[in-house]
């Protein structure tokens, strides 16, 4: 018997970094997925289509999640975990969070723990903390819940109700970066300019609610303006870079309503919105310049798991 779980990737629409320090942020699950299989084994063994061995730095957080859950629920950690992923890694699209959530969900299913979504998030945070040090929890929350989520540290996540789907354009800069390093840069900036940081965090919280409303109404032009304002705040705190700014400008020149970095920045990916009629030509324009870029529809479902013989 094996348990299988699939979890979506994510894009932060507004509020990354500020969310670590208590601001509201808006994030959407994206349809690129990670698939995890968990079955009984003589000892804990982890395989991935990208990394080898449970002691490889990328897979150590997975061991932490399994061992943490085994301890907490008094079940055996001796399982074989197999991971296969469509999510580019280090791209700000939640590859690690989706993996932790899927591992927690499959492990819970195999041992019939019956954990609810918020409990899966809590279990997967053990791995996220191991990677980032001080994660806000937004990534595993949106990967677990799915849909579009307004998130604030310590508050119950608010899932947005939407009729119909909306399109986002995601472009990967090709530059991997360390989320932990980026969070550290922001903390230094916050210590140097506490008043400015607090003011920006307040404004970015407001942007989250405005973005949620624009997205719900399907007002993509309005949402584009919100993205552009949020990008300016992210530049101010020093987490954008030349590659990201170049992509944001390019998206603007191709006719997008607005664009911003998504995730930790310093590389990673850009999220943008555009008039329907231009989406196709924007995606092909960016592909022609060598960027991995795709249009995605939101909302999409969160983690799900099942048993197979």
CB atoms within 10 A of CB 133: 11
Question: Near ligand PMV by CB under 6 A, which window of 12-20, 117-125, 272-280, 282-290?
Answer: 12-20
Question: What would the x/- binding string for ligand PMV be over residues 40 to 79, using CB under 6 A?
Answer: ----------------------------------------
Collect all residues with Cβ–Cβ distance below 8 Å to 35 and sequence separation of at least 6.
4, 5, 6, 83, 84, 85, 102
Q: Determine contact, residues 277/168, Cβ cutoff 8 Å.
A: no
88 touching ligand PMV, by CB under 6 A: no
Under rule CB under 6 A, residue 123 binds ligand PMV: no
What is the smallest separation between the CB atom of 263 and ligand PMV, expressed in angstroms?
Answer: 3
127 near ligand PMV (CB under 6 A): no
User: Would you say 3 or 23 has its CB closer to ligand PMV?
Assistant: 23
Count the residues of the shown chain that bind ligand PMV, applying the rule CB under 6 A: 16
| Residue among 144 and 264 whose Cβ is closer to ligand PMV | 264
Among 136, 240, 300, 305, binds ligand PMV (CB under 6 A): 136
DSSP secondary structure, 125-180, as one string: HHHHHHHHSS--SHHHHHHHHBSEEEE-TTS--EEPP-SS-EEEEEEE-S----HH
Question: Binding of ligand PMV at residue 92 (CB under 6 A)?
Answer: yes
Using the CB atoms, write b or e for 273-286: b if 16+ within 10 Å.
bbeeeebeebbebb
Q: Minimum distance between the CB of residue 284 and ligand PMV, rounded to whole angstroms? A: 26
Using CB under 6 A as the binding rule, whether residue 81 contacts ligand PMV is answered as: no
Residue 237 contacts ligand PMV per CB under 6 A: no
| Binding of ligand PMV by 35 (CB under 6 A) | no
Indicate the residue among 24 and 279 with the shorter CB distance to ligand PMV: 24
Q: Which residues contact 225 (CB under 8 A, 6 or more apart)?
A: 257, 258
Rule CB under 6 A: say whether 266 interacts with ligand PMV.
no
Closer to ligand PMV by CB, 24 or 257: give it: 24
Nearer to ligand PMV, 136 or 240 (CB): 136
DSSP state of 190: H
Q: Is residue 215 classed as helix, strand or coil in its secondary structure?
A: helix
Strands 79-85 and 25-40: antiparallel
Using CB under 6 A, pick the residue from 5, 14, 17, 35 that binds ligand PMV: 17
Interface with ligand PMV, residue 138, by CB under 6 A: yes
| HSE of 97, CA atoms in CB hemisphere, 13 A | 31
- Residue 261 token pair: 């970095």
Task: Tabulate helix, strand, coil % of the chain (nearest 5).
Answer: 45, 25, 30
Check: CB of residue 211 under 8 Å from CB of residue 226: yes
Binding mask 144-183 for ligand PMV (x = CB under 6 A): -----------------------------------x---x
Residues in contact with ligand PMV by the rule CB under 6 A: 12, 16-17, 19-20, 92, 94, 132, 135-136, 138-139, 179, 183, 263-264
């Amino acid at each position: 018997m094996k348990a299988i779980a699939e979890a979506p990737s994510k894009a932060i629409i507004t509020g990354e970094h500020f969310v670590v320090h208590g601001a509201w942020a808006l994030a959407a699950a994206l349809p690129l997925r990670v698939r995890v299989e968990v079955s009984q084994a003589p000892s804990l063994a982890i395989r991935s289509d990208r990394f080898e061995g449970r002691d490889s730095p990328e897979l150590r957080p997975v061991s932490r999640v399994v061992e943490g859950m085994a301890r907490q629920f008094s079940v055996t950690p001796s399982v074989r975990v197999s991971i296969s992923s469509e999510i580019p890694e280090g791209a700000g699209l939640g590859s690690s969070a989706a993996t932790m959530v899927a591992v927690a969900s499959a492990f819970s299913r195999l041992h019939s723990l019956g954990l609810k979504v918020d409990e899966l998030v809590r279990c997967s945070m053990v791995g996220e903390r191991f990677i980032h040090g001080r994660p806000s929890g937004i990534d595993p929350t949106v990967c677990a819940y799915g849909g579009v989520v307004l998130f604030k540290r310590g508050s119950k996540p608010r899932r947005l109700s939407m009729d119909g789907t909306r399109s986002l354009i995601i472009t990967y800069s090709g530059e991997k970066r360390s989320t932990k390093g980026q969070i550290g840069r922001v903390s230094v900036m916050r210590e140097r300019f506490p008043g400015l940081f607090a003011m920006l965090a307040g404004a970015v919280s407001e942007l989250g609610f405005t973005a949620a409303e624009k997205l719900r109404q399907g007002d993509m032009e309005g949402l584009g303006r919100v993205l552009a304002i949020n990008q300016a705040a992210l530049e101010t705190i020093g987490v954008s870079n030349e590659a990201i700014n170049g992509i944001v400008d390019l998206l603007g020149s191709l006719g997008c309503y607005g664009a911003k970095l998504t995730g930790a920045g310093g590389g990673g990916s850009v999220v943008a919105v555009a008039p329907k009629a231009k989406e196709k030509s924007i995606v092909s324009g960016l592909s022609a310049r060598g960027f991995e870029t795709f249009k995605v529809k939101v909302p999409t479902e969160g983690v799900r798991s099942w048993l197979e013989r």
